[in-house]
Structure 1
Amino acid sequence: MPLPLEGVKVLDLSRYLPGPFCTQILADFGAEIIKVEDPKGGDLGRLLPPLVNGESTRFYTVNRNKKSITLDLKKEEGKTLFKRLVTTCDVVVDQFRPGVMTKLGLDYEKLKAINPGIIYCAITGYGMSGPLRDAAGHDLNYLSLAGVTELTGNYRGMPAMSGVQIADIAGGTLYAVIAILLALMHRAKTGQGQLCDIAMLDGSISLLSYTLGEWSGEGKLPERGNDLLTGGYACYHIYETKDKKYISLGAIEGKFWAEFCEKINRKEYIKIQLNPNQQLEMIKDIRVVMLEKTRDEWVDFFANSDICLTPVLALDEMCSHSQVAARDMIIKLTSDNKDVKDIVLTGTPIKLSGSPGEVKLTFPKLGEHNEEIFLAAGCTREELEEFKKKQVI
């Protein structure tokens, strides 16, 4: 069965997480991903600890089913080769700071001149315009500037850092995938490519849609850890259990809250569910109740109750959960060497009935596909040998 992106060729200049995860999603649905790496070490993500067999375990999580070529874009021969590849490709993904590709003479305008249909997706921290255009940043910085970090944490405590890279993935990776797919649709209608300007700050701000609506409606700034969806209400809260683990309760709807209260013999709380003046008292009392059983005992206790109650799982527990297994969301890359640990990867979260993605557990060695890609682009074997000597590839 053909995959939806078969025939789409992507030159991937990105590294670490946002761009490589984006192109991995495209690869799972049939796109041919050609990683363009520096001959001197390649994608820096290959060296992030911990290492297994000399490769970063994190590299494996975002680089399956790709091809790798080495190319020094600072050398004229490297630029010429890259331009030759652009003429036969559909998409370029760039994760450098704005201006880097312009200095190399490989920016969108230059590539557009040789391939008007090229789709150029630039994933940056702050975007291609604005006063912070050239500033450095990481996930924490984008979330902090977006206002997300200020809202994250316990009531009257410090702002807390997220346990996952929200800006990188939700703000960068996913919006880059959407932009590329939209640009491919546009090109199918017009024949023209375009520049996709994806800023991780922009994407992070977009995640605040509901929060901004709440602020606009109430006329006051949200208070960290003290609003309905951030821990200030008993019906939407995390509670510690007897075994020092946790359960999460998301009983916002009245029917869920009523059933929860009835089960723990606190019917008097049903009518005051959303009374802001009663929350601290209810939370304090329910915390005491929750300490009477272990986490898993509470899960069993509420097993037949449809009230939005779930255990707070550690990573190893999540990986073995029946729902996760049923959705094929965890894949283990095993080694023939018993001394080498399994590498845990995510499956594809996009489930299509007619053309489902394919997770192929192949991972490119640095420059593994040089000969295949460059010969197909018109290079001779003699030229490739010369490029190797000059360290162009």
Structure 2
Amino acid sequence: RSTAAAAVAMALSGVRVLELAGLAPVPLCGMILADFGAQVVRVDRLSRSASAFEQGDVQARGKRSLALDLKRPQGAAVLRRLCLGADVLIEPFRHGVMERLGLGPEVLLQENPRLIYARLTGFGQTGKYAKSAGHDINYLAVSGVLSKLGRKDENPYAPVNLLADFAGGGVMCALGIVTALFERARSGRGQVIDASMVEGVAYLSSFLWKSQNLGLWSQPRGENLLDSGAPFYETYRTSDGKFMAVGAIEPKFYSQLIKGLGLNLGELPAQMSFSDWPEMKKKFASIFAQKTQAEWCSIFDSTDACVTPVLSFDDAASHQHHKERNSFIKNDQGEISPRPAPVLSRTPAVPSCKRDPFIGEHTEEVLLEYGFTKQEIAKLHSDEVIEFKNLKANL
């Protein structure tokens, strides 16, 4: 079906979102909404004042860009007018910035009571750290989660910036926005979303908190069932320098793992004999090191041993399973990325294949759409409050 028809059929079609440009978490939040059909406008700083990071926003799929100087009173007034016609505003700034610009929630929600005003920050809008700078590793640390991550006798280890920035930040914020949109359909009223990455990643870790009494985490970090303590929940190097991932927790899966490794279950210590785990790890490692990743795949692929290859991005994109499900998509530039998840049966996300927008590429188009006149736009441009991107300069 055509992309236009798909856009109308998508779950969030008709939802108008203003995303104030920021670093990683907010762009993911906006991209998720855009992928599922929302009309997302990224409000960029003028290109001369935008940082290199903003120039390189890689999560801009399906968005349009409007370049606006919010620090000028005229620029702030433009955003206030845009918010009259918007459903959602997402802002990434540090504590108090929006209020200083005269764009706080009390102002914007008074002017448009239906507006959903999402504030995505590291530490949240209140509390001791609300005004402090930080990054994913700091939010992960303060949430308690970082203390659980890492191998035995090593420092805690942050898995790149996935957990706080994106899972606890961008995704949780998107969930908050969709929930607030759902509630607004009943009440007709918007609300403020205080999305803290610390609390988002802590909430994500609810299982860790609630399973403490099960004895799953009674050993030091790196010596428990799921944190690389167990030989059957671990990664192992293969003879060609690649890796296999093993997650054979249940006895019926464990027995298939043992069989695939060519060992005899009756001659080994009990699976849950903690004291034997380090020795069993060495045994498994020496066996995995004797075959290539492809050879191990041919042994384990048709079993329920819970053994899978650790795939590189390139290998993942070309893997048979993902090809059969179209799990990865290619845009017009030939760039490969994961397709939006989850898959909705009637109204699936149909991600844009177009290149990402240049800063200010859609300034005039968006302002006209939101009710500004050509004369008003010309005045804003001559006053250097807004910027148009000269596309010819990029060719």
Point out the more displaced range, 176-185 or 151-160. Answer: 151-160
**In structure 1, what is the Cα distance between the partners aligned to 2:139 and 2:31?**
23
Whether 2:279 is the aligned partner of 1:281: answer: yes
What does the per-residue CA deviation read over 1:92-142, in whole Å, with 9 as the maximum and x for residues that have no partner?
000111211011110111101100110000000000111000111111111
**Match for 1:287: what amino acid?**
A
Q: How far does the alpha carbon of each residue in 1:347-375 deviate from its partner, in whole angstroms, 9 at most, with x for none?
A: 11120001011111232221122212222
Distance 1:42 1:377, change over 3 A: farther
Q: Note if 1:349 corresponds to 2:341.
A: yes
* Alignment deviations for residues 169-199 of structure 1 (CA, whole Å, 9 cap, x no partner): 1001111111001101111101110001101
Structure 1 position 327, deviation (Å): 2.8
Is 1:294 equivalent to 2:292 in the alignment?
yes
Aligned amino acid, residue 322 of structure 1 = Q
SS in 1 for 2:211: helix
1:380 aligns with 2:380: no
Name 1:52's counterpart in structure 2: none
SS at match of 1:203: helix
Write the distance in 1 (CA, Å) between the matches of 2:368 and 2:64.
Answer: 14
Match of residue 163 from structure 1: 160
Structure 1 residue 159 displacement after superposition: 2.0
Tell me if the contact between 1:143 and 1:204 (Cα under 8 Å) persists in the aligned partners.
yes
Which of 3, 14, 27 matches 1:20?
A: 27
SS in 2 for 1:34: strand
Q: Distance in 2 between matches of 1:298 and 1:377?
A: 58
Check whether the contact 1:175–1:198 (CA below 8 A) recurs between aligned residues: yes
User: Could you tell which deviates more after superposition, 368-377 or 233-242?
Assistant: 368-377
Structure 1, unaligned stretches of length 5 or more?
A: 50-54, 336-341
CA offset digits 1:295-330 (Å, max 9, x no partner): 211111223221110011122211211222233232
Alignment correspondent of 1:34: 41
**Preserved contact between residue 27 and residue 33 of structure 1 (Cα < 8 Å):** yes
Matched, 1:93 2:90: yes
Q: 1:318 aligns with which of 298, 316, 319?
A: 316
How far apart, in 2, do the equivalents of 1:200 and 1:189 lie?
Answer: 28
Partner of 1:371: 364
Q: Secondary structure at the match of 2:241?
A: coil
> Aligned pair count?
377
Task: Give 2:68's aligned amino acid.
Answer: L
What does 1:89-168 align with in structure 2 at a 5 Å threshold? Answer: 89-168=86-165
Instruction: Check whether the contact 1:246–1:295 (CA below 8 A) recurs between aligned residues.
Output: yes
Relative distance call for 1:127 and 1:221 in structure 2 (3 A) is: farther
Instruction: Note if contact 1:87-1:114 (Cα within 8 Å) is conserved in structure 2.
Output: yes
**AA at the equivalent of 1:252:** I
Query: Residues 237 and 243 of structure 2 are in contact (CA less than 8 Å); yes or no, is this contact kept in structure 1?
Result: yes
Tell me by how many angstroms 1:231 deviates: 1.1
User: Is the 2:332–2:353 Cα contact (8 Å) retained in structure 1?
Assistant: no
Pick aligned residue for 1:327 from 300, 322, 325 = 325
Task: State the alpha-carbon separation in 1 of the partners of residues 382 and 101 from structure 2.
Answer: 22
- CA RMSD of the aligned region, Å? 2.0
Distance 1:269 1:283 in 2: 15
User: TM-score, normalization: structure 2?
Assistant: 0.90
Shift of 1:32: 0.6
Kindly provide the CA deviation profile for residues 235-271 of structure 1, in whole angstroms up to 9, marking residues without a partner as x: 2111122222211110001101012213322313666
| Corresponding residue number in structure 2 for 1:358 | 350
Q: Secondary structure at the match of 1:239?
A: strand
* Matched-pair contact (CA < 8 Å) for 2:114–2:191: yes
The residue aligned with 2:389 is none
Conservation of the 8 A alpha-carbon contact between 1:151 and 1:222: no
Displacement of 1:219 in angstroms is: 9.7
Identity among equivalent positions (%) equals 34
Aligned-pair distance for 1:221? 5.2
CA contact (8 A) 1:68 1:370 kept: yes
Q: Which amino acid in the other structure matches residue 387 of structure 1?
A: L
Cα distance in 2 between the residues matched to 1:294 and 1:164: 31
Name the SS of the counterpart of 2:90 in structure 1: strand
Distance 1:252 1:43, change over 3 A: farther
- Taking the aligned partners of 1:281 and 1:266, their CA distance within structure 2 comes to 16
